[in-house]
Structure 1
């Protein structure tokens, strides 16, 4: 039994060591423990605290499978940083109002709960960060005056009450791809805040944007009203955005941009323009359950409007309005199979935490001869930001991620793809990345396909002309005894050749060299028109310019007819 206990202790210690590093205090047992300044306090066993106190710059690390409970408030030191790394479970038995700056990282095995999911969590520290890869559940999440807050959710985040921000708080909230957020109450934003949803969010009530911004590339469902009041409220939708209530109070400087699909129960938006993508290769789709009121605002370009039932036309989609329709605004183009671009949901990108859209690196295909370089660059159809300015070497950073052949490479200084001399014919792939010069962490990748035809550019050949008015061949070597037979038709009958070789039992053999041997021919000895048989590439190889890079396989007809 002691051996089993010892092994269990070693295992728990190993897990703790693997997850929590730099521990200066391990498993304190005092329920009123003081977490000392600059300490890293680690837990590999369960612990419940009554009235603990915290010093400055404290880090708390909770190992996997371990539960740490705080019965009462943990305010911390005013504006001093307190860190929580949660691999296990962190429980708060009552509402928390923290004056310390908080940095909370919940890992994939971690769980944080406030009063069984109903307690409030108020952050009054000046700088606060929450990164959730596991599960968080609470009542109300609130950010205090003059705070700067970042919430990055990769897991499941449940708020059973409201999420509130004071007017002076600056908050960036991102729900990552694959992440889930459930919000039972209202989301109250302000003009200093940005909300980004790239996963799935379900709001049981509504959203008050109040001058802030929402970027959606995932699935956003608000079971209530969306209030766009405030200065310059913005909604940028690239995914699926739905509201079962009413979207209202949008001033003329509000922005509603749709490149995905919006499903709206009712819209009394005021004078805000509803924008679509600028390119006709894309189209935004809007479905309305009831006629919407847009007054005299502009609609478009490249938008399609549809009533959820019945006929879809301007008179059924809009009420009490006289909108201006920009280019390519249609009504239920799906029913007539006349849509200029398909509906695209859940695009493969997520804006940066500050709301910046990522660059666009677009897959492409090139045909490049061995020993040659692409005519264009990988940036020719890329964008510095999504649907924004053209990517150039002055606004993005290019890097090669991988290549399926080391002879196929990307010049990261100018964006050209080079295929080295002697590269065998085939199809290769090259993965590259572009990052914004202004924000090198904001990146996108693409896969380019490179086709190398016939081992490279080839000299021109056609089948010999041996009929008609072709010139006779005046020189011949025969193994069939024709030279002394008095046959005046030979070799002249073999028309169109400089020299005729003839045998039934022998062949003409050129110098047979490998790639390495060809490369070893002294540069001074290379001549334009030199011919060898390359045993590595299994082809007749001709030098086209008298240089070491001028070798080409002679195996494809490339002469114009």
Structure 2
């Protein structure tokens, strides 16, 4: 037992250190420690710092279950790279202003808090990157002048104040499919910034887009107003976008595109039109708590407007407006079961962090004979960009990911599905991927279902009840053959011949093609069986002639 107890601490230590590698310094204890240049400092035990300083290219790694506290502000070299790998807990007890170029990765076991969740974090480094798979909780997040920032959230990001960025800041902000962002204050964007949501965002207040771009494929809920002022403010909604405030101050070049559902309380959009998908196979749905004011803009195509209560028609949907309409603009089409396309609020894709939409690979179904190829190619119904140009072998990179049968394959040079000769009838699947040639990391996958027609293998059990065939002939190596219906082989019902052994095989006459041809024709019988060693098959003569030999290689039932 003593050895067993010793192993557990060793295992724990291994797991702790396994998260942090290339450690130049481990567990420093000086509360005013200087994190040296080009060095990884690892923590496998708790530590509290008072006034630490950071060198250039210093890196801090916190192991799971370990808490690192910074009591006061931190200081370092302006725009010098500083990295944090957080598997445990990192607490900044006060408001933090960072002048370093931050590279922060919070893993799924990690947590960062600033000021107990209410402290402010100001980032003034020139180039900053934050990846959160765990939990980050703070007050105000301020992105400073002339900063370039990438924030990719997979976990929980709780901002208990405002999210502000300087008008000169450039920020790519993405909330991934499993991510949750809770924003208590306002969000201020900039013209150079893109805000992508594929998960869930709940904002208690409003958004100032200020010429930036919002792309939503998830669930986006706003409690306050949306200010569309600024040059070319853009909202693209493919999911569920709910605005409980007012959408206002939109210039003529603002874009509001809806392919999912937009639930709007008030809309005084100025000169901004509400656009729908160009294809009639898609439709955007707009649910209104109150009539909206859109002026003289053009709306559509392929949009449906519905009042949350009461009748939905132009007189109840619009006020003080004289819009014009493109094709297929309807009013509460669901009430008359006349919608040209279904409501989709979970499109199943997440744009790249810069806002680029992914390619669109669409599932395929083919019926192909063994030894043949598909009539069409898998790219026939795919798109280089979601809702964009047709995918071709020049604008996408085609590859096979998997197949349920190695005889089913994708010819990546031309896009055809290949089925090898001799492939048994049945239904098979193949998964392929397309990636944009211009952006090879932007990819999508689809599944091809291939049906091969023909006789499907059939297995019928022997008749062992009722009127059964007595098994009177058998060969056994178990020394128990006897006579009578209750003994062996009579106990095995429904068979012409019974073979039984635990350590022997049954071997037929083994003949080559040439030897089969030497069997005298007068001795050939229908049902004669040999094992053909040239063709590697069980061969049966079906008519008692020289040409009647057939390989038994397709299992089926004749009826």
* 1:430 is aligned to 2:449: no
Per-residue deviation, 1:197: 0.5
Distance 2:283 2:119 in 1: 44
4+ runs deviating over 3 angstroms: 1-9, 508-518
Distance 1:200 1:302 in 2: 26
The 8 Å contact of residues 370 and 452 in structure 1, kept in 2 or not, is answered as yes
Per-residue deviation, 1:161: 0.5
Distance 1:279 1:165 in 2: 36
SS at match of 2:13: helix
SS at match of 1:10: helix
Q: Which runs of 5+ in 1 are unaligned?
A: 457-504, 519-529, 541-554, 557-561
Per-residue deviation, 1:517: 4.3
Per-residue deviation, 1:442: 0.7
> For the structure 1 residues 168 and 5, does the alpha-carbon distance in structure 2 shift closer, same or farther, using more than 3 Å as the test?
farther
> For the structure 1 residues 319 and 33, does the alpha-carbon distance in structure 2 shift closer, same or farther, using more than 3 Å as the test?
same
Distance 1:204 1:455 in 2: 63
Aligned Cα root-mean-square deviation (Å):
2.3
The 8 Å contact of residues 17 and 44 in structure 2, kept in 1 or not, is answered as no
* 1:418 is aligned to 2:418: yes
* 1:190 is aligned to 2:207: no
Distance 1:6 1:46 in 2: 22
The 8 Å contact of residues 455 and 556 in structure 2, kept in 1 or not, is answered as no
Alignment-derived partner of residue 335 in structure 2 = 335
Alignment-derived partner of residue 323 in structure 1 = 323
Which moves more between the two structures, 12-21 or 28-37?
Answer: 12-21
* 1:507 is aligned to 2:523: no
Per-residue deviation, 1:510: 9.7
> For the structure 1 residues 2 and 187, does the alpha-carbon distance in structure 2 shift closer, same or farther, using more than 3 Å as the test?
farther
> For the structure 1 residues 517 and 48, does the alpha-carbon distance in structure 2 shift closer, same or farther, using more than 3 Å as the test?
same
1:473-552 to 2 correspondence within 5 Å? Answer: 507=526, 516-517=535-536, 533-538=550-555
SS at match of 2:316: helix
Distance 2:407 2:533 in 1: 17
The 8 Å contact of residues 515 and 536 in structure 1, kept in 2 or not, is answered as no
> For the structure 1 residues 135 and 514, does the alpha-carbon distance in structure 2 shift closer, same or farther, using more than 3 Å as the test?
farther
Distance 2:71 2:377 in 1: 62
Distance 1:283 1:160 in 2: 36
Per-residue deviation, 1:537: 2.5
Distance 2:227 2:452 in 1: 57
Distance 1:72 1:3 in 2: 44
Distance 1:248 1:358 in 2: 30
Distance 1:72 1:279 in 2: 57
The 8 Å contact of residues 513 and 532 in structure 1, kept in 2 or not, is answered as no
Per-residue deviation, 1:310: 1.0
Alignment-derived partner of residue 393 in structure 1 = 393
Alignment-derived partner of residue 268 in structure 2 = 268
Distance 2:85 2:453 in 1: 55
Which moves more between the two structures, 393-402 or 1-10?
Answer: 1-10
Per-residue deviation, 1:420: 0.5
Alignment-derived partner of residue 459 in structure 1 = none
* 1:215 is aligned to 2:219: no
Per-residue deviation, 1:515: 9.8
Per-residue deviation, 1:12: 4.1
> For the structure 1 residues 243 and 514, does the alpha-carbon distance in structure 2 shift closer, same or farther, using more than 3 Å as the test?
farther
* 1:149 is aligned to 2:169: no
Alignment-derived partner of residue 115 in structure 2 = 115
Distance 1:155 1:102 in 2: 19
Alignment-derived partner of residue 551 in structure 1 = none
Alignment-derived partner of residue 382 in structure 1 = 382
Q: Which runs of 5+ in 2 are unaligned?
A: 457-523, 538-546
Per-residue deviation, 1:405: 0.5
Distance 2:328 2:444 in 1: 30
Per-residue deviation, 1:11: 3.7
Distance 1:23 1:370 in 2: 58
The 8 Å contact of residues 423 and 455 in structure 1, kept in 2 or not, is answered as no
Per-residue deviation, 1:362: 0.5
Distance 1:514 1:440 in 2: 50
The 8 Å contact of residues 165 and 188 in structure 2, kept in 1 or not, is answered as yes
Alignment-derived partner of residue 199 in structure 2 = 199
User: What does the per-residue CA deviation read over 1:9-54, in whole Å, with 9 as the maximum and x for residues that have no partner?
Assistant: 5344212321001101000000000100001000000000000111
Distance 2:26 2:441 in 1: 36
The 8 Å contact of residues 288 and 307 in structure 1, kept in 2 or not, is answered as yes
Per-residue deviation, 1:81: 0.7
Alignment-derived partner of residue 91 in structure 1 = 91
* 1:295 is aligned to 2:295: yes
The 8 Å contact of residues 39 and 57 in structure 1, kept in 2 or not, is answered as yes
Alignment-derived partner of residue 491 in structure 1 = none
Distance 2:88 2:173 in 1: 24
SS at match of 1:247: strand
